Amino acid sequence: MSRAWVVIPMYNEAGMIASVISSVRGTFPHIVCVDDGSSDGTAEAAAAAGAVVVRHPINLGQGASLQTGIDYALRDPQMTEIITFDADGQHQVGDAAAMVERMRKDALDIVVGSRFLDDRTQIGRAKRLVLKTAAFYSRLATGMALTDAHNGLRVISRSLAERIELRQNRMAHASELIDQVGALKVPWAEHPTHIIYSDYSRAKGQSLLNSVNILVDLLFR
């Protein structure tokens, strides 16, 4: 996995980011964390844990952070894949590694994680309905039969990353990314992922209200 880069957007994650980076570095040595205007020492904690840290002077949103991280990873001429990975501890490194292996085996340009391809992730009914509605809308808009259009764990090939340009700074970036992938008609697949919802991750934006906000952003965009 030495030619893959992990991009982690982060905002006020000082209490969690070191453990996330530690788990990721066991498999992926190249990590760039984009500090999105944090005020709690997040950047210092990430740097101490061994990640490259790029800082936004003000909070711009997750979409902007992902684009900054993608741009940084593209500076490495040896990079072959970019993995987008959340800072709140909800993603599993084993899933990310399996997704990279699948991309290479099947010559794909993007592998998108899905909470709905197996039964490992426990999701409330209301949240499930919102996410399924968002996936249905994305399917109508792009023709991609996704089951989970707003999963933050993705693997993107270098060739696709060079063509992606996220303009939606906040949560609507996930739908924008899928729109661009659909328009480019590149080979893709979904892969089952286990999302762990803790009290911490819910407080950081994995609540039902945040899912509704994603749907509102999607519809109004």
Full residue range of the structural domain in which residue 160 is found: 4-220
Give the span between the Cα atoms of 125 and 14, in whole angstroms: 31
Terminal CA-to-CA distance of the chain, rounded, Å? 36
CA pair distance 88, 194, nearest whole angstrom: 14
State residue 34 phi and psi, 5-degree precision: -105, 110
**154 CB burial (10 A radius; 0-12, 13-18, 19+):** buried
Let me know: does 145 contact 98? Beta carbons within 8 Å. Answer: no
For residue 124, give the DSSP letter.
Answer: -
Neighbouring residues of 164: CB distance < 8 A, sequence distance ≥ 6: 67, 70, 156, 177, 180
Q: At what angle do helices 208-220 and 125-142 cross, to 10 degrees?
A: 20
Q: Which H, E and C letters describe 90-114, residue by residue?
A: CCCHHHHHHHHHHHHHHCCCEEEEE
Helix, strand or coil, per DSSP, at residue 89: coil
Q: pLDDT digit string (tens) for 103-122?
A: 999 999 999 999 999 888 87
Going residue by residue through the chain, which has 221 residues, state the pLDDT in tens, using 9 for 90 and above: 999 999 999 999 999 999 999 999 999 999 999 999 999 999 999 999 999 999 999 999 999 999 999 999 999 999 999 999 999 999 999 999 999 999 999 999 999 999 999 888 877 777 777 777 777 777 777 788 899 888 999 999 999 999 999 988 776 788 889 999 999 999 999 999 999 987 776 666 545 555 556 556 655 55
Question: For position 47, what pLDDT does the model report?
Answer: 98
Phi/psi at 114 (5° precision): -135, 135
Q: Could you tell me whether strands 154-157 and 81-84 are parallel, antiparallel, or unpaired per DSSP bridges?
A: antiparallel
Give DSSP secondary structure letters for 187-205. Answer: -EEEEE------HHHIIII
Listed residue (151, 156, 43, 1) closest to 91, CA to CA:
151
Q: What is the pLDDT of residues 110-165, one digit of tens each?
A: 999 999 998 888 777 777 777 777 777 777 777 888 998 889 999 999 999 999 99
CATH, residue 196 = 3.90.550.10
Task: Look at the chain and report how many structural domains it folds into.
Answer: 1
Angle (deg, nearest 10), helices 173-184 and 125-142: 30
